[in-house]
Structure 1
Amino acid sequence: MMELKKISELAKILKQNQLTKLDLTEGDVRLVLESAGGKVVLQEMPKEIEIFQEETTITMEEKKLVVESTSAYEQKSPLVGTVYLAPQAGSAPYVKVGDKVKKGDPVCIVESMKMFNTIEAEKDGEVVAVPVDNGQIVEYGQVLVCIREEA
């Protein structure tokens, strides 16, 4: 996880240079800062944290979620398409945060070119984040679910 001081400095640079977006990747951590009407919104998967000018607000729960997601295995989309988190409308989702999954368990469906592709868990573990919404269009390599592997 990036240091809060560094994130604050990047937010200041974003504001001073009147940039609308800053996307930075260091190792396996991706940071996206976007300007939104005088405040800067920080996205560090899976949680959004707001930074108002130079102050940083982050609760211990949010910090725990960020640490969990950055240390978790990121299951990525193997293709471009529309993601469906449940087998059909009105059904319970395949997985939700806190669920235990085994390698091969379905986690979602990605529809591409009228083909419905079941995406299966690549690791055993606990789901710590589902950073996509049902019906969202996803890109190749976009994270669909974060799984903290069991020891």
Structure 2
Amino acid sequence: MPLVLTKEWFESIRDAWNSDPSNIKSLEGVNEKVLWIVEELPLSKLPPEMEKAILEEGMIDEALFRRAKEKDRVELLLEWKDGRLVDFRPARGGEEYTARMRGKYSVFERIKTEEDFLWASMDREIDFRGRLFEFTRRLDGYTKFTLIMVSKTDLI
């Protein structure tokens, strides 16, 4: 499994999403750019020697890693076109998006069902900004994406 925030990690998640027709169908007709903000990352759990090795070997862009560790969050941009994930990468400052999702990594880890996602949103553990009606109609797709992202996130 690729290390979190590496080019391979972004590609593996995009490929996992696009390779399953049920994922694409769950967001069929969706043409959105979503700013997905993940807070309280598990990067602080990395042993110092592993962090040093990761940065020395250039596995992760050093500026991205340092910013994520310093702010204890990462901003990701996801772009869907008719249900396909066409772009998934670190967000750049000032980019436009049509919706925003923000929550702690531990909350995203707990999500297993649409109901979990809905309750986390209602309990304000996940903050969603955008077209709420579209979000609730596509909750299955957002839940599936969350499951893929968490399942492909590993620090060791």
Q: After TM superposition, is the score higher than 0.5?
A: no
Greater gyration radius: 1
Give 1 or 2: higher helix fraction: 2
TM-score, scaled relative to structure 2: 0.25
TM-score, scaled relative to structure 1: 0.26
Give 1 or 2: higher strand fraction: 1
